[in-house]
Amino acid sequence: MSKRITAEDAAELIRTGDTVASVGVIGWITPDALLKAVADRFGAEGAPRDLTFYFPCGTGDSIDIRGMDHVAVEGLMKRIVSGSYVNPLHPVKRTRPELMRLIRENRIEAYSWPIGASMHWLREVARRSPGYMTQIGLGTYADPRLGGGKFTSRCTDELIELIEFRGKEYLFYPTFPLNVAFIRASSADAFGNLSYEDEALMSSNTALALATKACGGIVVAQVRREVERHTRLAQDCRVPGVLVDHYVVVPDQMSGTDNRFDPIYLGGRRATPDVLPRLPLGADKVIARRAAREVKPGLTSIFGFGASSDAPLVMAEDGLFDNGAIDNYQFTTEHGPFGGVVMSGWQFSANMGPEALLDGLQQFDFIDGGNCPFAALAFAQFDAACNVNVSWFGASNPGAGGFIDIAHNARDLVFTGTFTTGGLNCAIADGGLSVVREGSVRKLVASADHVTYPVRTGVIERGQTAKLLTERAVFQVEAEGLALVEVAKGIDVRRDILEQMEFAPHRIAEPLPMMEEALFAP
């Protein structure tokens, strides 16, 4: 007997007050049709109501693959717990996602967990343990002393607790039951065995199924096709049918944002420069080139979302991967691909031409085990105490994503971004840079709006190294604070750097080296 049902049937399985779990990574592996069906049912019937949604990371792009924005409806959504939120401006409407409005207007209970915790928590649910315990996140916004991951004042329950165990402090995430899980795969047979031959990532699909079944819940998979039973190798079926109650066939599901299906994300061949996007010359390219100078062959390097993920692209453009030299580098992201070239923008998370893939939980085991000695991450704010913020700033509240786990466990850190934002315009010529129009928003601030990671604590207590890379200057984090160690040709240190900071560097290198002119080359 087949387990195949329709998306509308799947939506009918949810009851008022349920906790619904799902996962996608931006546009990758998002069960968009299932989430849309829940919203459509609520629009037609006013039910189910008061749901809690659990998304281990940002699910959907909020544009063409709307993901969790489908269910961002007052009355339908009571609470959301997510490892990250998606904040883009719509390219045509120039509006923020509906979920951001609900959070900004305090219409729902919204909690933000580090993705590492949101992944590993599922393992604890699956084995029916009381919760997940970790030191990662102490001293950040996830710490109850700094908010406990609460993004709205409607949040009254403490979903993260500060505990002491054997004389040390830990963060503890108590488990709670999951009633329904929506996951995605490529193919299903009549029994529900799922394979992922078309998917660039696995994320936490298996973990969601295991956790939900441990709670006595229902698991529904969205797939591209139905296949005959006993026609695939066992090792290709990553989720066994005993964990799947139903599946829904959606033949036209997108692989990812702006990508119906591109086999280069599955591996089997190298990503050559001719298939890779190229950055125009500007501040972002200068920063990416400077970050690339920190990347070493033979060392596993992990890249976060934002400006840092452009570094591998400029390395390819500059010929560092020619004649098979890409094999000298090992690049990854928080979502599990190894090898190939990390992509930026809406294709971030997957790699072009990968050689191997871990699922989401195993990847954070890899990260938390210290196996990514070098990390390049973006920054939105950096303050006088050397706290970095990417989780809540201005009109954006994206959460931490994998930032906290990555930053905590790397040995060498670089943080990338423009010096200011909001209308910044730079002119690049003659091996240097000049500021035509300064950005209206300062990013080096006296006190960050959020503490996503306390960088100086890592430098002092765990021997980390950390640099802040911008288009006009390079800083180094030292035990005493932030030191200015490089400046671009054409930049006036007082006018363009010191007067654009809300605090003074503790030290300015003397003499002050110039940034390489090659960074500014056409």
The most distant pair of C-alpha atoms in the chain lies apart, rounded to whole Å, by: 77
Among 63, 62, 65, 75, smallest CA distance to 28 is for 65
DSSP state of 513: P
Contacts 24+ apart (CB under 8 A), 96-100: 96/395, 97/62, 97/69, 97/72, 98/62, 98/69, 98/72, 98/73, 99/62, 99/68, 99/69, 99/72, 100/396, 100/397
DSSP state of 494: I
E strand segments, 215-274: 218-223, 225-226, 237-239, 246-249
Among 75, 74, 80, smallest CA distance to 149 is for 80
Helix (H) or strand (E) holding 313: helix 311-317
* Edge-to-edge order in the sheet of strand 131-134: 131-134, 168-174, 161-165
Which DSSP string corresponds to 433-477?
A: EEEEE--SEESEESS-SS-SEEHHHHHHHH--EEEEE-SSEEEEE
Please say whether the beta carbons of 469 and 416 come within 8 A: yes
In whole angstroms, give the CA distance from residue 332 to residue 371: 11
In whole angstroms, give the CA distance from residue 222 to residue 237: 15
Among 246, 194, 186, smallest CA distance to 12 is for 246
Tokens standing for 113? 């967990």
Among 255, 119, 259, smallest CA distance to 200 is for 255
Burial of 141 (0-12, 13-18, 19+ CB in 10 A): buried
Q: 102 Cβ partners below 8 Å, 6+ apart?
A: 72, 74, 77, 108, 110
Please say whether the beta carbons of 450 and 392 come within 8 A: yes
Task: Classify the phi-psi angles of 323: left when phi > 0, otherwise alpha if psi is within -120 to 50, otherwise beta.
Answer: left
Which residues, in sequence order, are bridge partners of residue 279? none
In whole angstroms, give the CA distance from residue 419 to residue 381: 10
Angle among Cα 451, 454, 455 to the nearest 5 degrees reads 135
Helix (H) or strand (E) holding 188: strand 187-188
Among 75, 68, 76, 178, smallest CA distance to 112 is for 68
Indicate if 334 belongs to the active site. Answer: yes
CA distances from 244 to 14, 124, 212, 412, 440 (A): 16, 20, 10, 42, 51
Q: Which of 124, 317, 334, 438 is catalytic?
A: 334
**Which residues have a catalytic role annotated?**
334
